[in-house]
């Protein structure tokens, strides 16, 4: 049973370009979460999605960032017109249900570097 | 107020010794879950152990145990018989209502195991 998969593992972009980060949840998991980890910090919640629905995007910057989880295919986190401050590790997690006791299983992360 | 507080930025432990990593939390929700994750230098987030707010017993998983003191709102991680491979960042995290969709992380403790 494959774990959460993310690609690419490393992504380099120049300022002003777009970054697309992909996440395939664990088999049987319909809940996907995106987190951002800035250097020397813990993970910060960005967005929670179910298939075709954004449930909670309270942690997502209002501009340039968007997320989707289509009916078919992986979840995508899109960052438009990247800036140096977007450089971070972006983690995707998934869970089968949403409850206090449900563990979120994390992917290996995508390290974004903006030059 | 910080939801999750980890006051030890770094810890050293001798190989084969036990070590306790501190974590305190803040919530008014009676139903919540507490988690510990390990992040080695390779960067992935590895789930270690879970404790539910209604659990009567302290959680244990192999060499990991969680010292849950509900009245004090603390959830310390105890690693017994430390190994060199335990050197990593350790994050305490909490999942609470409403919705339980987001996990809040502490800033982490860097553990180094000395041979």
Question: A106 and B47 in contact by Cβ < 8 A?
Answer: yes
pLDDT in tens, A7-59: 999 999 999 999 999 999 998 888 999 999 998 788 999 999 998 899 999 99
Residue A1's pLDDT band (cuts 50, 70, 90): low
pLDDT in tens, B83-104: 999 999 999 999 887 677 778 9
Q: What is the distance between the alpha carbons of residues B79 and B59, in angstroms, rounded to a whole number?
A: 12
Q: What is each CA distance from A30 to A4, A26, B42, in whole angstroms? A: 12, 8, 27
Q: How many CB atoms lie within 10 A of CB B99?
A: 12
Task: Count how many pairs of residues, chain A against chain B, have C-beta atoms within 8 Å.
Answer: 75
Chain B residue with CA closest to A89: the answer is B43
Chain B residue with CA closest to A49: the answer is B101
Strand ranges across the sheet with A65-68:
A5-7, A19-24, A75-79, A65-68
Instruction: Name the nearest CA neighbour of B93 among A18, A61, A93.
Output: A93
Q: A72 in helix, strand or coil?
A: coil
A11 in contact with chain B, both atoms CB, cutoff 8 A:
no
Which residues in chain A are contacts of B37 at CB distance < 8 A?
106
- Indicate which of B39, B102, B105 best probes the interface with A, i.e. most A CBs within 10 Å of its own CB: B102
Q: What is the distance between the alpha carbons of residues A52 and A76, in angstroms, rounded to a whole number?
A: 11
């Amino acid at each position: 049973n494959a774990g959460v998969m993310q690609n690419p593992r490393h992504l380099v972009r120049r300022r002003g370009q777009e970054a697309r980060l992909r996440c395939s949840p664990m088999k049987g998991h319909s809940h996907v979460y995106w987190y951002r980890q800035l250097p020397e910090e813990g993970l910060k919640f960005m967005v929670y999605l179910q298939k075709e629905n954004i449930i909670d995007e309270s942690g997502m910057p209002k501009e340039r960032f968007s997320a989707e989880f289509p009916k078919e295919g992986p979840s995508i986190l899109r960052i438009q017109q990247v800036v140096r401050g977007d450089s971070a590790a972006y983690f995707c997690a998934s869970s089968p249900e949403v409850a206090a006791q449900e563990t979120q299983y994390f992917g290996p992360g995508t390290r974004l570097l903006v030059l | 107020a910080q939801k999750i507080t980890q006051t030890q930025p770094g810890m050293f432990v001798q190989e084969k010794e036990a070590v306790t990593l501190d974590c305190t939390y803040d919530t008014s929700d009676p139903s919540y879950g507490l988690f510990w994750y390990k992040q080695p230098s390779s960067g992935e987030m590895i789930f270690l152990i879970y404790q539910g707010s209604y659990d009567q017993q302290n959680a244990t998983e192999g060499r990991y145990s969680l010292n849950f003191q509900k009245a004090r709102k603390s959830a310390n991680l105890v690693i017994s018989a430390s190994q060199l491979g335990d050197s990593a960042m350790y994050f305490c995290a909490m999942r609470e209502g409403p919705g339980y969709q987001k996990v809040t992380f502490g800033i982490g403790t860097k553990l180094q195991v000395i041979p």
